[in-house]
């Protein structure tokens, strides 16, 4: 595989960086399609192997990312067709995959970016955001970290401001996605 006109092999650092960067989001994307965690790991790993063995030349990271998501989706469809309980008279609903494909790609990519920005927060702020994402309220967080509730609120406000600045319009996507999933 070529990336930005440089040949990448599975032992080069760029390969490992790209694998670590995209495997988790591709895995989450694929497991929603296959509903099978064990096989999904194999499917996503196979996508990476085929991609790296290919002679494709990706001009930029967006082209590579799009290729990885599309290949993962296609591998999931192929897997569903090959299952023993697959009935030839009942086609895999590819329209269902197409409708959810872009939504899932955007959602997974948004959460990947959110993870990046949360990792860049100062330690105390990061811990408060992580506890909030786990469903803890301000009082619980304050008690857990042995700080005041007002300190929790201040850290949350500053963290959300940083996230909004980093994420831009993607921040709205997170909020809307979670609201839609809530109802």
Contact 44, 31 (CB under 8 A): no
In whole angstroms, give the CA distance from residue 96 to residue 100: 6
Q: Estimate to the nearest angstrom the gap between the alpha carbon of 88 and the chain centroid.
A: 32
Cα separations in angstroms, 151 against 79, 121, 124: 50, 16, 10
Cα dihedral 144, 179, 116, 48, rounded to 10, equals 120
Nearest-angstrom CA–CA distance, 128 and 178: 19
pLDDT at 179 over 50: no
Residue showing tokens 């304050």: 142
Tens digits of per-residue pLDDT, 145-160?
999 999 999 999 999 8
Among the listed residues 12, 81, 79, 11, the one whose alpha carbon sits nearest the alpha carbon of residue 41:
79
Domains of the chain and CATH, by start = 1-108 (no CATH), 120-183 (1.10.10)
Confidence of residue 87 (pLDDT cuts 50, 70, 90): low
Q: What is the pLDDT of residue 104?
A: 66
32-61 pLDDT, tens per residue? Answer: 888 888 889 999 999 988 888 887 777 777
Percentage of the chain surpassing pLDDT 70?
A: 72
Average pLDDT over residues 69-96: 71
**Per the structure block, which two tokens stand in for 65?**
């990312």
pLDDT value for 183: 39
Q: Is residue 95's pLDDT more than 70?
A: no
């Amino acid at each position: 595989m070529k990336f930005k006109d440089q040949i990448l092999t599975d032992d080069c650092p760029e390969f490992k960086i790209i694998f670590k960067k995209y495997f988790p989001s591709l895995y989450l994307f694929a497991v929603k399609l296959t509903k099978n965690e064990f096989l999904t790991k194999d499917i996503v790993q196979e996508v990476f192997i085929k991609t790296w063995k290919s002679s494709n030349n990706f001009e930029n990271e967006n082209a590579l990312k799009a290729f990885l998501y599309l290949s993962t989706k296609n591998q999931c469809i192929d897997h569903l067709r090959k299952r023993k309980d697959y009935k030839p008279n009942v086609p895999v609903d590819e329209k269902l995959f197409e409708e959810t494909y872009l939504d899932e790609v955007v959602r997974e990519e948004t959460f990947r970016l959110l993870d990046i920005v949360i990792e860049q927060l100062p330690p105390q702020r990061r811990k408060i955001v992580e506890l909030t994402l786990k469903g803890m309220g301000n009082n619980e967080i304050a008690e857990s970290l042995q700080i005041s509730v007002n300190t929790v609120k201040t850290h949350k406000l500053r963290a959300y401001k940083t996230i909004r600045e980093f994420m831009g319009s993607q921040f709205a996507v997170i909020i809307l996605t979670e609201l839609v999933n809530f109802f």
